[in-house]
Structure 1
């Protein structure tokens, strides 16, 4: 089994802090399969602070005989996005993808080419934009037993210069995942995910941002990092998921800024899941910027 890609390192802890929380939003997700090869997904968000609604519609069509996946997406910003992906047909573990997007209102166009190759001990992933000033992102993850090591960089093709870099070390088994990452020599993060039993998952996350903002984190940038700005304080977060009987679970998290997140999720019936969440400002209980959110997920 191939190791995960670089953006997937530390994902279990990251998801525990992010998934299921949607403060300040009304959220609706719909997923269905019109046939075994066609998948449709729609997602919508409405802010409670203003009337703006953001949504997207995606269709995915798989051609198994040729290893092809065709994806089309549209969002409320009028972006049309198409992707052609082929995997494991030319060579086992090889992934090739071409993505293009177009916005008619502004006549903006962009595209991206992706290449991935994975085997038992390594996973390489790269992408490069095809715009006038293309950027190339490359990452490599190596695995040995339960240990993982990764390196990633962003290269400015036009200026032939290294824009950002990142290094990661990790360890994972069936119950625990440890992830440590250094970004541009200024920012770092460390996380621990632990599955106590079938009912309880827990995670701890530490984050430090450098004076320059610490770019290069990409999809691995932890929750709250952007809120730190150019500061250099270490932020600490603790999160927990407790699964109840009857297809329900409770979420909770708290960080060193005294922000308390709470969530409850209930499966109402097959294909219908409802959730509520809240983010409370612990430093200003009476007049703080408290937010709550409601989500509904439909699947058939």
Structure 2
């Protein structure tokens, strides 16, 4: 009797992605941001992104150009930020071996002469997803992670090794289960000093729910921080999101696709413990918006 083919499990960084996206995305509460994407006939994509921080009024932005050659599995991305940081990324996918992706990330800050270069190798096949990264200028540091999956069960781990000092600087582990309509993930991070649990459930076609609990053994306050949220689709072009945490902060988000290629999102955060405190209300409550134009 032949065994059931196993799917490729998510990468280490994507373990718990469903609950993380539900509780972390589409809540633009820290100011106003704008994103414009265009694509030329020869396949070059340009993206201009800018944001204004509501607290400091600081404006930041970046210009990104990306060229994709699907035939040869090559992707080249160049980014220039308003802080004068130059970034470049070269990706080569499924060319050396099936399931193997190689990429090199570099960055340069000319004013300070600061530079960085990280080489990544990702290999994925049914039931296994691994990655290795070498940071040439920090350490150098070698980082490796792997996720194994079978019948919905997921087991992952990560470790970072400082080549110069000859010792492991960071390690973490995770365990999870993923089904079509729900997922549960447990993480032990920061050398197993911080523990988190995430839960995601697609209740129906129009409703999603999730929760996340975090326990930091080194935190002075102690206890477990908890966050629960939901997402409700009004129609194929609009949805509401809401979440609240154990500190009493309620966050609301609304996203609307105005037309193909045009999307707007609005966010509002309310500290429910300071609603009646007029002095602290201004600093405690936040509001923001995000707009995307894609052509």
TM bucket, shorter chain = over 0.9
In structure 2, the partner of 1:238 is 228
Contact 1:29 1:43 in 2 (8 A): yes
Residue ranges of structure 2 left out of the alignment (5+ in a row): 1-6
In structure 2, the partner of 1:123 is 129
TM-score by length of 2: 0.92
Deviation at 1:132, TM superposition (A): 5.7
Contact 2:33 2:291 in 1 (8 A): yes
Which structure has the greater CA radius of gyration? 2
Task: Find the partner of 2:13 among 7, 15, 24.
Answer: 7
Task: Find the partner of 1:159 among 154, 162, 165.
Answer: 165
In structure 2, the partner of 1:269 is 259
C-alpha separation between the residues in 2 aligned to 1:237 and 1:157? 38
Deviation at 1:52, TM superposition (A): 1.1
Note the alpha carbon deviations across 1:113-144, whole angstroms, 9 max, x for none. Answer: 10111110101111111116222221000011
Would the alpha carbon gap of residues 96 and 259 (structure 1) be closer, same or farther in structure 2, given more than 3 Å must change? same
Contact 2:155 2:175 in 1 (8 A): yes
C-alpha separation between the residues in 2 aligned to 1:132 and 1:170? 31
TM-score by length of 1: 0.91
In structure 2, the partner of 1:204 is 211
Deviation at 1:11, TM superposition (A): 0.6
The 5 Å alignment of 1:1-300 reads 1-35=7-41, 37-131=43-137, 133-183=139-189, 184-211=191-218, 230-245=220-235, 247-287=237-277, 288=281, 289-300=284-295
C-alpha separation between the residues in 1 aligned to 2:138 and 2:29? 38
1:77 alignment partner, SS class: coil
Note the alpha carbon deviations across 1:80-136, whole angstroms, 9 max, x for none. Answer: 011111011111001111121111111211111101111101011111111162222
Structure 1 residue runs of 4 or more that deviate by more than 3 Å after TM superposition: none
Residue ranges of structure 1 left out of the alignment (5+ in a row): 212-228
Aligned-residue RMSD, C-alpha: 1.4
Contact 2:37 2:46 in 1 (8 A): yes
Aligned length: 283
Between 1:36-45 and 1:66-75, the stretch displaced more is 36-45
